[in-house]
Chain A
Amino acid sequence: MKIKFLAPLNQIFGSAKELDFVHPVSVAELLRFLQDQAPAFTTYGGFGPGDKHPYGLLVWRQHHLMTLDEMLDPNDELEMVPMAGGG
Chain B
Amino acid sequence: MNGYHNRVAWIDLNRRKVDVKEPDIKDMEDFVGGSSLGAAYLARLIRPEIHPFSPDNPLIFMVGPYTGTRVPASSRHAVISLSPLTGIYGESNCGGSFGWQLKKSGFDGLVITGASEKLVSIVIDSGRIGFRNSDDLWGLDTFTVDARLKEEIDPKAVTAVIGPAGERLVKFASISHDGRHTRSIGRCGMGAVMGAKKLKAIVLTSKGDAATPVADVEGLKSSAREALKAIKERLGAFGQIGTPGGVINYDRLGNLPVNNWRTPQDTPLAEKTTGTTLKETLVVRRSGCKRCPIRCGRLVENREGPFALDGVMEGPEYETVASFGSLCLNDNIEAIAKANEYCNRLGMDSLSTGGVIAFAMECCEKGLIPRSDLDGVDFGFGKPEGMVEMVKRIALREGKLPTLLGEGAREASRVIGHNSEEYAMHVKGLEFPMHDPRFSWGQALSFSTSNRGACHLNSLAHLFEMAVSLPEYGHSGPTPGREQEGKAQMVVRLQHFMAVLDSLSICKFTLINNALSLSHFLQWYGQITGRNIGLNEFMAIGEKAFTLKRMINNQRGITRKDDILPPRMRTLRKRGIGFDLGVPPLLPMLSEYYDLRGWAEEGRPMDETISRLGLDEFRRLLD
Report which A residues bind B (CB closer than 8 A): 6-8, 43-44, 46, 48, 50-53, 55-58, 60, 62-65, 81-87
Please report the total number of B residues contacting A with Cβ < 8 Å.
43
Q: Which of B234, B248, B514 contacts A81 (CB under 8 A)?
A: B248
Name B243's closest neighbour in chain A (CB-CB).
Answer: A87
Name B515's closest neighbour in chain A (CB-CB).
Answer: A55
Contacts between chains A and B (CB distance < 8 A), count: 101
Q: Which of A8, A48, A63, A86 contacts B514 (CB under 8 A)?
A: A48
| Residues of chain B contacted by A58 (CB below 8 angstroms) | 249, 252
CB-based contact A56/B243 at 8 Å: no
CB-based contact B279/A86 at 8 Å: no
Known A43-B236, A44-B237; contact A87-B317, beta-carbon cutoff 8 A: yes
Known A6-B248, A7-B276; contact A86-B318, beta-carbon cutoff 8 A: yes
Name B469's closest neighbour in chain A (CB-CB).
Answer: A50
How far is B433's CA from A2's CA once the two chains are assembled, in angstroms? 36
CB-based contact B513/A8 at 8 Å: no
1/0 per residue, CB under 8 A from A, across B316-333: the answer is 011100100000000000
Known A55-B234, A87-B317; contact A82-B276, beta-carbon cutoff 8 A: yes
CB-based contact A60/B252 at 8 Å: yes
How far is B317's CA from A63's CA once the two chains are assembled, in angstroms? 26
5 closest A-B pairs by CB: A56-B237, A63-B578, A83-B245, A86-B246, A87-B243
CB-based contact A51/B246 at 8 Å: no
| Residues of chain B contacted by A56 (CB below 8 angstroms) | 236-238, 240-241, 513
Give chain B interface residues in 407-443, CB to chain A under 8 Å. 434-435
How far is B578's CA from A63's CA once the two chains are assembled, in angstroms? 5
With most chain B CB atoms within 10 A of its CB, the pick from A48, A56, A64 is: A56
Q: Which of B241, B478, B578 contacts A52 (CB under 8 A)?
A: B478
Name A45's closest neighbour in chain B (CB-CB).
Answer: B237
Known A82-B276, A84-B246; contact A55-B241, beta-carbon cutoff 8 A: no
B276 to A: closest C-beta gap in Å: 4
How far is B478's CA from A60's CA once the two chains are assembled, in angstroms? 18
CB-based contact B578/A85 at 8 Å: no
Interface of B is mostly: helix
CB-based contact A63/B577 at 8 Å: yes
CB-based contact B477/A84 at 8 Å: no
| Residues of chain B contacted by A85 (CB below 8 angstroms) | 238, 243, 245-246, 463, 509, 512-513
A41 to B: closest C-beta gap in Å: 10
Give chain B interface residues in 563-580, CB to chain A under 8 Å. 577-579
Name A67's closest neighbour in chain B (CB-CB).
Answer: B478
Known A84-B249, A87-B243; contact A43-B237, beta-carbon cutoff 8 A: yes
1/0 per residue, CB under 8 A from A, across B247-279: the answer is 111101101000000000000000000011101
How far is B247's CA from A81's CA once the two chains are assembled, in angstroms? 11
The answer, yes or no, to whether B533 is at the interface (CB within 8 Å) is: no
Name A10's closest neighbour in chain B (CB-CB).
Answer: B276
8 contacts between A and B (CB under 8 A): A6-B248, A8-B240, A53-B466, A82-B275, A84-B466, A86-B255, A86-B318, A87-B246
| Residues of chain A contacted by B275 (CB below 8 angstroms) | 82-83
The answer, yes or no, to whether B218 is at the interface (CB within 8 Å) is: no
How far is B235's CA from A62's CA once the two chains are assembled, in angstroms? 27
| Residues of chain A contacted by B477 (CB below 8 angstroms) | 50, 52
Give chain B interface residues in 276-305, CB to chain A under 8 Å. 276-277, 279-280, 296
| Residues of chain B contacted by A65 (CB below 8 angstroms) | 252-253, 578
| Residues of chain B contacted by A44 (CB below 8 angstroms) | 237
B105 to A: closest C-beta gap in Å: 28
Name A64's closest neighbour in chain B (CB-CB).
Answer: B578
